[in-house]
Structure 1
Amino acid sequence: MGRGHRPERLGEEIRKIISELILRELKDPRLAMGMVSITAVEVTADGSYATAYVTVLGLDPKHEEREKEQEDVLEALRSAKGLIRREIGKKIKLRHVPDLIFKIDKSMDYGRHIDEIIQNLDK
């Protein structure tokens, strides 16, 4: 028996809510470093955890301070986790709001790396 698409649908709703909160509600200056985007949210099958993947756009990919700035953004989101969970609970009727885990989405860096490899093959 399949589990259905509930975790995917729930993850998408949580992604929309977090994105809206970052845009309108959260006033942490660490979130103003670049454009912060929630690229995906993966919810576990039992709904107890939700991993939100964060991309910080506008940072120089070669800049040596990039990792520190990304960590600052993650820390700002972690400090606002209670507010974010409360808003998720208000907007989505759930018995248990998943615990949030924030991680940097490295897929853009990986894609950039693959592009460089392909370009070097042509030479």
Structure 2
Amino acid sequence: MKPTHDSKGPSQRQLRAGELLRHALAEIFRLEDIEDDELKGQLITVAEVRVSPDLKHATVFASALGGKPGDVIAKALNRHARFLRGELARRIELKYVPELVFRADHALDAAERIDELLRSPDVARDLK
């Protein structure tokens, strides 16, 4: 009998698969040279990988450190999703290598906005 999940969050299996994919993609971005003008010279980071319950689809949140906007990077990576999926198949052991969809990671942008707000004179005055 399968256990039922009352919580709405990802299962332990989804989390493990997501971390496995995240580490493998980081290694691919570090070692492989992807032929794309938008990606040339960019240091790409993978913040999170969310995997569907059946592990057949994965959403990858990626950005370039100190480089081009996340949306440009995500669009370029989506053009190479098939190549990246093939590279993942060589590096990981999963029954299925999920279809990849890349999205811009906006977490750093949000953190910078919050930091900027906290340094503003009005907020600094209220914090004293």
After TM superposition, the score normalised by the length of structure 1 is 0.79
**Distance in 1 separating the partners of 2:34 and 2:11:** 37
Given that residues 63 and 74 in structure 2 are in contact (C-alpha distance below 8 angstroms), is that contact kept between their aligned partners in structure 1?
Answer: no
How far did residue 22 of structure 1 move? 1.3
1:43 is aligned, of 26, 37, 51, to 51
SS for the counterpart of 2:55 is: coil
State the structure with more CA Rg.
2
| Residue 42 of structure 2 is aligned to residue 25 of structure 1 | no
Please give the per-residue CA displacement for 1:3-41, whole angstroms capped at 9, x wherever unaligned.
Answer: 851111111111111111111113324223432111111
How far did residue 100 of structure 1 move? 0.6
**Distance in 2 separating the partners of 1:54 and 1:74:** 7
Q: Relative to structure 2, which stretch is displaced further, 13-22 or 83-92?
A: 83-92
Q: Which runs of 5+ in 2 are unaligned?
A: none
| Counterparts in 2 of 1:33 and 1:73: CA distance versus 1, 3 Å | farther
| Residue 90 of structure 2 is aligned to residue 94 of structure 1 | no
Please give the per-residue CA displacement for 1:28-59, whole angstroms capped at 9, x wherever unaligned.
Answer: 24223432111111111121211111121123
**Distance in 2 separating the partners of 1:85 and 1:109:** 28
* More relative contact order, 1 or 2 (CA 8 Å, 6+ apart): 1
Identity %: 26
Q: Which runs of 5+ in 1 are unaligned?
A: 60-65
* Structure 1 segment 1-123 matched on structure 2, within 5 A: 1=3, 2=5, 4-28=11-35, 29-59=37-67, 66-67=68-69, 70-120=70-120, 121-123=123-125
